[in-house]
Structure 1
Amino acid sequence: MAEMIKKATRESFGLAVTAAAKENPNIVVLDADLAQATKTAIFKKAFPERFVDVGIAECNMIGIAAGLATCGKIPFAASFAMFSAGRAFEQVRNSIGYPHLNVKVVGSHAGVSVGEDGATHQCLEDIALMRSIPGMVVINPADHYEMTAAVRALVDYQGPAYLRLCRLPVESVNNNDDYRFELGKGITLRDGSDITVAATGLMVSEAVKAADALKAEGISVRVLDIHTIKPLDKELIAKAARETGKIITVEEHNIIGGLGEAVCSALCESYPAPVIRMGTHDCFGHSGPGAELLKEFGLCAEGIAKTVKQALGK
């Protein structure tokens, strides 16, 4: 069993992309005046000649990244999700998605757990936006180990991708020795027969906590770590629906256009089953401590456990 690590995935990203750059000279990193927050400052310190801070000009950053990709570089273009996926959406679509360039768009500080910065910075639409771009891979790692593996996989993957980072530290859930990361393939973290909880990003560890607590009450919960939202692991989702009957999706994102909607779309084509979507319900966030906001929106172990019991009529 690997070491248990509690670390924000934004920091894990900074460490992972720096480690990868030591082996691959084509990796470059761009940031939009938020290097300390996105942790690309770790890369900047190690490789200042391969780091570009464009200032508060996210749209220009995407254009520069696209140009670097045409020259054989592997650009990671990072900012807050609200800016890299939101403000620069048109450039991501037309300059990266349309020509299918090898650019990795990085969205840090996503979801309500950004906290005190409030609704203007709490991007709850980024997964929906990036999913809508043809050919765009969308990844939302759950912990340090998964973020590290995801960065390595994206370096090898040829094409556009969106990588979501979180601000709050999260405990490891993928520190088992047989952990294996593969783009487009989910992971079964807990087996169960009563119901399935399919979670992504920061919510995966909360789903595991909920399942472990419910096990003591005689409720068997299967937990799926859906790190890749696009392409979705449809086979794993359909198998869970067949074997457990109901699925709860959990995401720190609007239920419109996110993981829940992707799961519903997949199941209606293969194995129709009841799906309960947990996330924000067509609303904006607001200012407050990140951990408290997650609880307020029910995006915590207690909230997940409560929803499981309600779904099972207990």
Structure 2
Amino acid sequence: MNAQELSRRQSKYTARKAPKGERLATSAMIASLDSEGRDTVAAPFGHALVDIAQTRDDIVGLTADLSKYTDLHVFAKAYPDRFYQMGMAEAVMISAAAGLAREGFTPFATTYAVFASRRAYDFIIMAIAEENLPVKIVCALPGLTTGYGPSHQATEDLAIMRGMPNLTIIDPCDATEIDQATRAIADHPGPVYMRLLRGQVPDVLGEYGYQFKLGKAQMLRDGKDVLFVSSGFMTMRVLDAAGKLRADGIDCGVLHVPTIKPLDTATIIAEAGKGGRLVVTAENHSVTGGLGEAVAATLMRAGVHVPFRQIGLPDAFLDSGALPTLHDQYGISVDAVTTSVKGWM
């Protein structure tokens, strides 16, 4: 190892000190994102599931020792006889969920996204997806929503899951959409993988009169210069970025794509095909194998040739640290998005 590489590795693990007079956040994991100045909703997934269960005896909840950190503790308190604590055994949880589904139940299995996509992948394929069972796998800490490093950062979960037949994949934006999507997937007859923001979750889409529709992308705002195609909490970010860019005379539209699979190709092609706009995908996921590549392939197959850029996480193992710092570092903060788009225009 040369001196330059040694220095790089040492600096990666050196504690970052705050500038004099400033205070850095000390927690590597935070409950939600972009909540400052916005209304928030506590545990929207847990409360939605409780509401559904009031009229449906088939709803059951399972977790791999993470009920508090997936908001399933709300359901567990309301329906202890329908809650299953499986311990730190994701494969066992998935297998049990498959068995419950075979007996007529609709199981919601929760864990962290890294554990479902990496540890339990084969069990999801063989026990759930191949049989097309109605198991809903709802996973916290998607993408870069924790500063705990590669062991907890599910930066490649969409790429892993997109190749699985029969699986519907949802990446909701906020509390409004989590509530609505939870109800929608409960009615969906097949398996679902849904990313989850938990804790105090911002409410962003409520002001747009938004209504989640499974498999559908929706325009939140139009614009003549740039078309953002976004999913997850990056829709929050690009909406904020669009406001900042307007002050610089750049008019941005935002197409929110909560269903990653099946992708709403018709809407994406129609909006991108209007012409004259830079198309920018934005996702809380690696630029490899996620929404950006799915949109690019869709446009290429349809013969829609437009200027195209991706905003996403690098194809790399990411650092640990405070999330605001990491989001700036990896280009997914509002300021970073704004700077990128200005550079491309």
TM-score, length basis structure 1: 0.94
Question: Which deviates the most, 270-279 or 100-109?
Answer: 270-279
Name the residue aligned to 1:309.
Answer: 342
Calculate percent identity across the aligned residue pairs: 38
- Are 2:71 and 2:199, in contact at CA under 8 Å, matched by a contact in 1? no
1:227-246 alignment, distance < 5 Å: 227-243=258-274, 244-246=276-278
Question: Which deviates the most, 34-43 or 230-239?
Answer: 230-239
Name the residue aligned to 1:265.
Answer: 297
Secondary structure of 1:180 counterpart: coil
Secondary structure of 2:207 counterpart: coil
1:274-313 alignment, distance < 5 Å: 274-312=307-345
State the alpha-carbon separation in 2 of the partners of residues 251 and 173 from structure 1: 16
How far did residue 240 of structure 1 move? Answer: 2.2
CA RMSD of aligned residues (A): 1.5
- Are 2:136 and 2:193, in contact at CA under 8 Å, matched by a contact in 1? yes
Name the residue aligned to 2:16.
Answer: none
Shift in CA distance, 157/230, structure 1 to aligned 2, threshold 3 Å: same
How far did residue 171 of structure 1 move? Answer: 3.0
State the alpha-carbon separation in 1 of the partners of residues 201 and 215 from structure 2: 22
1:158 is aligned with what amino acid?
P
- Runs of 4 or more off by more than 4 Å in structure 1? 167-170
- Are 2:144 and 2:153, in contact at CA under 8 Å, matched by a contact in 1? yes
Residues 1:69 and 2:101 are matched in the alignment: yes
- Are 2:109 and 2:137, in contact at CA under 8 Å, matched by a contact in 1? yes
CA deviation vs aligned residue, 1:141-183 (integer Å, no higher than 9, x gap): 0001101010010011100110001357553221136322111
2:344 is aligned with what amino acid?
A
1:272 is aligned with what amino acid?
H
State the alpha-carbon separation in 1 of the partners of residues 106 and 212 from structure 2: 20
Secondary structure of 1:249 counterpart: strand
Structure with larger Rg: 2
Flag structure 1 segments of 5+ consecutive residues without an equivalent.
none
- Are 1:168 and 1:290, in contact at CA under 8 Å, matched by a contact in 2? no
Flag structure 2 segments of 5+ consecutive residues without an equivalent.
1-37
How far did residue 113 of structure 1 move? Answer: 2.1
State the alpha-carbon separation in 2 of the partners of residues 111 and 164 from structure 1: 9
Name the residue aligned to 1:60.
Answer: 92
Question: Which deviates the most, 231-240 or 205-214?
Answer: 231-240
Secondary structure of 1:114 counterpart: coil
1:87-102 alignment, distance < 5 Å: 87-102=119-134
How far did residue 23 of structure 1 move? Answer: 1.8
- Alignment partner for residue 185 of structure 2, among 128, 141, 154? 154
CA deviation vs aligned residue, 1:183-207 (integer Å, no higher than 9, x gap): 1111211110111111111111110
Name the residue aligned to 2:39.
Answer: 5
State the alpha-carbon separation in 2 of the partners of residues 251 and 168 from structure 1: 21
Name the residue aligned to 1:218.
Answer: 249
Residues 1:144 and 2:175 are matched in the alignment: yes
